[in-house]
Structure 1
Amino acid sequence: MAAWARAVRGLLLDVSGVLYDSGGDGGVPIAGSVEAVRRVKASGLKLRFCTNETQATREKFVKKLQGMGFDISVDEVTAPAPAACRILKERSLRPHLLVHNDLVPEFAEIDKANPNCVVIGDAAENFTYANLNEAFRVLIGMEKPVLISLGRGRYYKETDGLKLDVGAYMKALEYACDVQAEVVGKPAKMFFESALAEMGVPPQQAIMIGDDIVNDVGGAQRCGMRALQVRTGKYRPCDENHPHVKPDAYVNNLAEAVDVILQQL
Structure 2
Amino acid sequence: MAETDWVACVDDLKGVVLDMCGVLYDSGEGDGAPIAGSVEAVKRIRASDLKLRFCTNETQATRESFVAKLRRLGFDISVSEVFSPPPAALAILQERGLRPHLLVHDGVLPEFDKLDKSNPNCVVIGDAADNFSYKNLNDAFRVLMGLEKPALFSLGRGRYYKETDGLKLDVGVFMKALEFACDVEAEVVGKPAQMFFKSVLADMGLEPHEALMIGDDLVNDVGGAQRCGMRALQVRTGKYRPSDEQHPSVRADGYVDDLAAAVDALLKHRSQ
Which TM-score applies when normalising by structure 1? 0.99
Query: What is the 5 A alignment of 1:55-204?
Result: 55-204=60-209
Contact kept, 8 Å, 2:31 with 2:73, in 1: the verdict is no
Select which of 231, 246, 249 maps to 2:251: 246
Distance between the aligned counterparts of 1:22 and 1:164, measured in 2?
13
Conservation of the 8 A alpha-carbon contact between 1:5 and 1:264: no
* 1:25 CA displacement: 2.6
Q: Which runs of 4+ in 1 moved over 3 A?
A: none
Q: CA deviation at 1:110?
A: 1.3
Deviations 1:177-233 (A, max 9, x none): 000000011000011000111111110010000000000000000000000000000
8 A Cα contact 1:5 1:260, kept in partner: no
Partner Cα distance (1:141, 1:149) in 2: 19
Shift of 1:264: 2.9
Counterpart for residue 55 of structure 2: 50
Identify which of 5, 8, 15 aligns with 1:3: 8
Gaps of 5+ in 2: none
Match among 186, 210, 215 for residue 205 of structure 1: 210
Q: Does 1:257 align with 2:262?
A: yes
- What secondary structure, in the 3-state scheme, does the structure 1 residue paired with 2:86 have? helix
In 2: Cα distance, 1:199 partner to 1:264 partner: 22
Give 3-state SS (helix, strand or coil) of 1:48's partner: strand
SS state of the match for residue 191, structure 2? coil
Provide the rounded CA distance (Å) in 1 between the counterparts of 2:97 and 2:216. Answer: 35
2:59–2:126 CA contact under 8 A, matched in 1: yes
2:19 counterpart (14, 18, 26): 14
Separation in structure 2 between the aligned mates of residue 51 and residue 211 of structure 1, nearest angstrom? 11
Offset from partner CA, 1:1-50 (integer Å, 9 cap, x none):
63133211000000000000111232100000000000101112111100
CA distance in 2, matches of 1:32, 1:24: 20
Aligned equivalents of 2:160, 2:9: Cα separation in 1: 28
- Aligned CA RMSD, in angstroms, stands at 0.8
Count of residues in Structure 1 that have an aligned counterpart in Structure 2 = 265
1:33 to 2:38 alignment: yes
**3-state SS of paired residue (2:116):** coil
CA distance in 2, matches of 1:4, 1:35: 24
Residue equivalent to 1:236: 241
Following the alignment from structure 2 to structure 1, what is the Cα–Cα distance between the partners of residues 237 and 130?
25
Cα separation, 2, equivalents of 1:212 and 1:3:
23
- 1:223 maps onto 2:241 in alignment: no
Hey, what's the Cα distance between the residues in 2 that align with 1:37 and 1:44?
A: 13
How far apart are the structure 1 equivalents of 2:211 and 2:204? 10
Contact 2:24 2:35 in 1 (8 A): yes
Give the Cα–Cα distance (whole angstroms) in 2 for the partners of residues 137 and 42 of structure 1. 52
Residue type of the alignment partner of 2:77: I
Alignment check: 8 A CA contact 1:6 1:261 kept:
no
Name the SS of the counterpart of 2:255 in structure 1.
Answer: strand
Distance in 2 between residues matched to 1:68 and 1:245, nearest whole Å? 32
* Matched AA of 1:73: S
How far apart are 1:260 and its partner, in Å? 1.6
